[in-house]
Amino acid sequence: MSADRPEIYDIAIIGAGGAGLTAALYGARARRRTVVFERLITGGQIATTELVENYPGFTEGINGTDFVMNLVAQVERFGAELRYEDVQTITPRQGEPFLVETSEGAYEAHAVIATAGADYNKLGVPGEGEFIGRGVSYCATCDAAFFQGEEVVVVGGGDAAFDEALFTTRYASKVWLVHRRETFRASALLQERVFANPKITVVRNCVVEEITGGEMVEAAELRDVQTGETCTLPVGAVFIFIGQTPNSHLLKGLVEMDEGGHARVDLRMQTKVPGLFVAGDLRTEAARQLVSACGDGATASLAAEAYLAEAGIGEG
Ligand SMILES: Cc1cc2nc3c(=O)[nH]c(=O)nc-3n(C[C@H](O)[C@H](O)[C@H](O)COP(=O)(O)OP(=O)(O)OC[C@H]3O[C@@H](n4cnc5c(N)ncnc54)[C@H](O)[C@@H]3O)c2cc1C
C-alpha cells in the first residue's frame, strides 16, 4: 500500500463468496493491492452448506464452512485485505480510478470485480417476514438443528430445496416437502434420495399461503392449487428455497443485464465498462456452482491483471 494514496487499491472485489475470494487469491498472488468487501458473512452461499460433494479434489466432500475458512486463510496468506463493509456504489471516472463507496467510507480502485452473488427469494405470504429467525429460514444447514424432533416444511422443487430437505431429516421428526407444481427441477439423484427417505413426505401442487404461530412458528397453511382445498400443517419451521435474485442493483445503469438481472460479460468476465468485471452467480449464464464461481473469479482476476498491465499500472 503506498504512503501518499493509501486508499487506492489495484483491485477492489465486491463480495467474499467463492468467486470473490478466488479473485482475491489470484490478485494478491499477482502482488496487486487487493481488497474484498463483504457485507455479511465470509464465504457467501457456500458457507451455509453442510456438505459440498462436487468440488473437485475432495473425495468425501467438504463442509462449506471448512472450505471457506481454508480459502480465507489462503487469500490472507498472500496479503489480500478483507473489509466487512456494504458496497453502495461503484463509479467509473474518466482517467481516474473507480470510486467505490461503502457503508463505512470511500475507496479508489483501478479495477473492480463484482462478485455480489444472489439473495434468496421470498414467498411473500403473511407471517413470513414476522417469523424470520423464529421458524422461517432460508438456510436449513444453519437452522435445522434448532428443530430437533419437530415436524417442518421445506418449500421448493429445485436442487436447493431437495438438498436442504435431506439435510433437515437429520433433526426433524418429519419433513413436508411442498412444491407448487407436479414435477421438480431437482437433479435425478437428489429426487431419488428424497423419494427414498421415509422421513420426507412430498406434497405436490400445493402452496404455502400463510405461516402462523405465537413466539415461534406453529403452523403452515397450505392450499392445493388444483382443487382449492386448504389444510393446516402443525410444524415448528418453514424452510424456503424458491430461487434467488442476483445482487445486481449496484450495476444498474452501468452494465448490460439479461432478463433475470444478471450482468452480461464476455468470456473474460469483462463488462462493457473497461476495468469492471463481473464473476460468479451474478453474471449471465453462470452455472451457479461453487467450482464455476471460483473459476469465474480466477478468470476475472487474470483479466483484471491484464487490464492493469496494459494501462501501465505497476505492481504494488
Ligand atoms: C443451500 C445451498 C447449497 C449449495 N450447494 C452447492 C454444492 O453442493 N455444490 C456447488 O457447487 N454449489 C452449491 N451451491 C451453489 C454455490 O454455493 C454458489 O453457486 C456459489 O457459491 C456462488 O458464489 P458467488 O461467489 O458467485 O456468490 P455468493 O456465494 O452469493 O457470494 C456473494 C457474496 O457477496 C456479498 N455481497 C453482496 N452484495 C454485496 C455488497 N453490496 N457489498 C459487499 N458484499 C456484498 C454477499 O453477502 C455474499 O457473501 C449451493 C448454494 C446453496 C444456497
CB atoms under 10 Å from CB of 144, counted, come to: 25
Residue 313 binned pLDDT confidence (cut-offs 50, 70, 90)? very high
What φ, ψ does residue 69 adopt, rounded to 5°? -60, -40
pLDDT in tens, 206-258: 999 999 999 999 999 999 999 999 999 999 999 999 988 999 999 999 999 99
Catalytic site includes residue 143: yes
Q: What is the pTM of this model?
A: 0.80
Element holding 94 (H helix, E strand): none
**Helix/strand/coil for 64:** helix
pLDDT at residue 70 above 90?
A: yes
Residue 2 is predicted with a pLDDT of 43
Residue range 110-117: average pLDDT?
A: 98
The Cα 51–Cα 28 span in angstroms is 28
CATH fold, domain 8-119+244-310, is: FAD/NAD(P)-binding domain (3.50.50)
Residue range 101-119: average pLDDT?
A: 95
Element holding 47 (H helix, E strand): none
Atom of ligand 1 nearest to the CA of 280: 26
The answer to whether the beta carbons of residues 269 and 299 sit under 8 Å apart is yes
CATH top-level class of 122-240: alpha beta
Ligand 1 centroid to 290 CA: how many Å? 8
* Residue of 88, 290, 296 to test ligand 1 pocket, by largest number of atoms within 8 Å of CB: 290
pLDDT at residue 186 above 90?
A: yes
pLDDT at residue 5 above 90?
A: no
The segment(s) of the chain belonging to CATH 3.50.50.60 are 8-119+244-310, 122-240
Which grid cell is 222?
397450505
Tell the residue number behind the cell numbers 499477482, with chain if given: 30
Tell the residue number behind the cell numbers 504512503, with chain if given: 3
The answer to whether the beta carbons of residues 285 and 294 sit under 8 Å apart is no
pLDDT at residue 60 above 80?
A: yes
Residue 151 is predicted with a pLDDT of 98
Atom of ligand 1 nearest to the CA of 290: 11
pLDDT at residue 81 above 90?
A: yes
